[in-house]
Amino acid sequence: MRSDTIKKGFDKAPHRSLLKATGCVSSRDDFSKPFIGICNSFNELIPGHAHLQELGRIAKEAVREAGGVPFEFNTIGVCDGIAMGHVGMRYSLASRELIADSVETVVEAHRLDGLVCIPNCDKITPGMMMGALRTNVPVIFVSGGPMKAGHTPSGQTVDLISVFEAVGKCSTGEITEDELQTIEECGCPGCGSCSGMFTANSMNCLCEALGFALPGNGTILAADPRRNELVKAAAGRIVDLVKEDVRPRTILTRAAMLNAFALDLAMGGSTNTILHTLAIASEAELDFDFAELNDLSAKTPYICKVSPATTEVHIEDVDRAGGISAILKELSKVEGLLDLSAPTVTGKTLGENIANAEVLDRKVIRSVEDPYSATGGLAVLYGNLAPNGAVVKTGAVSPSMMKHTGPARVYDCQDDAIAGIMQGDVKSGDVVVIRYEGPRGGPGMPEMLSPTSAIMGRGLGDSVALITDGRFSGGSRGACIGHVSPEAADRGPIAAVRTGDLITIDIPQRSMTVALDDETMRQRIEALPEFEPKIKKGYLARYARMVTSANTGAVLKTDF
């Protein structure tokens, strides 16, 4: 075992003495058992994580019962909703790398034999996955589970996005401050990852398709007693994975990646999943071209529409309708779409995992013969504004905005854009451009939930598009195009756009262009001053110097 390095031989007496002092090693017999890390992201700042301390306790008991010795440690976490709209959001994506580094550090420094990862939100799931892939020790993921949707006294179903959009409605006088407060108090009724197909739930659902989690990981509610049973089952399985030497790079094949992308497209998941999955592929040393997503989308039907694409369906409804296994079972009817032979942490193939799954509500999970769309709910756009690509959640775009031409309304930071939207500078037909908010320019590629929610709340969702080299919350909806690459800080074409330039977005044709000839574009870019970083000290300054483009997953460079 890897852990023999710190526990075997007379010369390891000091190591054993220290291990005994932790209280986790209860007898000399424990030194003959595998050492299992319980990587927990419990903290009391994130509603999706506030209950994870109890799940960690359940996991430790299960590992002990299965014949392992559990050692719990923690990673950091950022709540995107609380960090939204201020400098804190710049730390959000950047925290993914810190999480990956912390997992790598603890596993390698203490020679752990296996890992049970307990994440729940946004960057934490992919960050843990990246760290696990670096160390390549056997791992199993079990999330904290999604939040239940909220309900107002009048019976309206609400979630976090309802609260953000209500701010915009309040600013126009469409609702009163008292009505806003009612939605605020009902939007997030308890612990769990926010209740729609936002980034956290998207990633936890993808864990099932990737083969890293047991069925139910993405959809069983945090408050459901079945969540505790799932944690117990997952943690009990890790000792077998260690004995069988099933490693994450064995499971994360190219086929598994394509299975996960197909699920993402079928559910219209968060655009952030593309960013994170590309980063995960990078850690696994798998090649995946950004453009391949469009080829996969062309043959993947969009069969499950969840908030924010609709206000009628939340994650609890997907679970009731059969969960991720039912969606995958339905997708398996499309010839050649899924690789059902892909291995998983259950010890069975993906096909065996979903063999008995059944769709229980066709209003939630449609058939492949009757999809919302014949093509997937995400797309990559190209053109002279984004030579290296940009991403849009097509499933959350209204039909009237699938093709749009309008004048640019340019802002060099998110704060200015929010102010411009809220004070009425943005008019129907405009294309809002928010730049210098990419991985390097942000720094940290902040999410744009505040401006997109303001656009929706002010009634402009069917007439205004927004493009950015930053990114969007999984809760954003509308014609929101992010990850524009190259970013403005790297003198990408988005830096050349001026207010009034005509921008054409054609989502069906996967294109996005600005009405500028090549020479004008070149002259404008050459006239730009040298990019001045917003933050010049601390972690974000280091991050900005090392981060790569969004189309490669915004990972950190290791070669200089």
| Model pLDDT, residue 79 | 93
Q: What does the pLDDT look like over 188-238, one tens digit per residue?
A: 999 999 998 888 999 999 999 999 999 999 999 999 999 999 999 999 999
| Beta-strand relationship, 431-434 and 403-411 | parallel
Full-prediction pTM beyond 0.85?
Answer: yes
Measure CA of the first residue to CA of the last residue in the chain; give whole Å.
35
Superfamily (CATH) of domain 379-552: IlvD/EDD C-terminal domain-like (3.50.30.80)
Q: What does the pLDDT look like over 341-362, one tens digit per residue?
A: 999 999 999 999 999 999 999 9
123 known member of a binding site: yes
**Alpha-carbon span 334 to 332, nearest angstrom:** 5
In terms of pLDDT, which residue wins out, 168 or 488? 488
Clarify whether 325 is annotated catalytic. Answer: no
The average confidence (pLDDT) of the chain is 94
60 known member of a binding site: no
Q: What does the pLDDT look like over 286-341, one tens digit per residue?
A: 988 888 899 999 999 999 999 988 889 999 999 999 999 999 999 999 999 999 99
| Beta-strand relationship, 150-151 and 157-158 | antiparallel
Q: What does the pLDDT look like over 501-556, one tens digit per residue?
A: 999 999 999 999 999 999 999 999 999 999 999 999 999 999 999 999 999 999 99
- Write out the residue limits of the CATH 3.50.30.80 domain(s) in the chain: 379-552
Q: Which amino acid is at 403?
A: K
- Tell me phi and psi for residue 69, to 5 degrees: -110, 115
Choose among 391, 275, 261: nearest CA to 328.
261
Residue 294's H or E segment, with its range, is helix 292-297
Q: What does the pLDDT look like over 227-283, one tens digit per residue?
A: 999 999 999 999 999 999 999 999 999 999 999 999 999 998 888 899 999 999 999
243 known member of a binding site: no
| Model pLDDT, residue 475 | 67
Choose among 536, 537, 487, 482: nearest CA to 505.
482
Residue 148's H or E segment, with its range, is none
pLDDT mean over 125-136: 97
- Write out the residue limits of the CATH 3.40.50.2300 domain(s) in the chain: 33-149+190-354
| Model pLDDT, residue 463 | 94
Q: What does the pLDDT look like over 440-487, one tens digit per residue?
A: 999 999 988 888 888 988 889 899 999 999 998 776 778 999 999 999
Cα atoms in the 13 Å half-sphere on the side-chain side of 490: 20
What letters, b where the CB count within 10 A reaches 16 and e where it falls short, cover 290-312? beebbebbeebbbbbbbbbbbbe
Q: What does the pLDDT look like over 549-558, one tens digit per residue?
A: 999 999 998 7
**Alpha-carbon span 480 to 477, nearest angstrom:** 7
Q: Which amino acid is at 110?
A: H
Residues near 59 by beta carbon (within 8 Å), at least 6 away in sequence: 38, 40, 70, 72, 116, 118, 142, 231, 232, 234, 235
| Model pLDDT, residue 380 | 94
Percent of the chain with pLDDT over 90: 85
Of the candidates 325, 453, 473, 549, the residue annotated as catalytic is 473
Question: With 80 as the cut, is the pLDDT of residue 559 above it?
Answer: no
Q: Are 187 and 158 in contact (CB under 8 A)?
A: yes
44 known member of a binding site: no
Just give the CATH number of 33-149+190-354: 3.40.50.2300
| Model pLDDT, residue 26 | 87
Choose among 118, 38, 42, 122: nearest CA to 76.
42
Residues near 396 by beta carbon (within 8 Å), at least 6 away in sequence: 268, 308, 309, 377, 476, 477, 478, 480
Residue 226's H or E segment, with its range, is helix 225-244
Q: What is the CA radius of gyration of the chain?
A: 23
Residues near 235 by beta carbon (within 8 Å), at least 6 away in sequence: 38, 58, 59, 60, 61, 62, 63, 66, 70, 116, 140, 142
Q: Which amino acid is at 274?
A: I
Choose among 301, 366, 295, 358: nearest CA to 334.
301
Q: What does the pLDDT look like over 60-76, one tens digit per residue?
A: 999 999 999 999 999 99
The reply to whether omega before 443 is within 30° of 0 (cis) is yes
With cut-offs at 50, 70 and 90, classify the pLDDT of residue 560: low
pLDDT mean over 121-133: 95
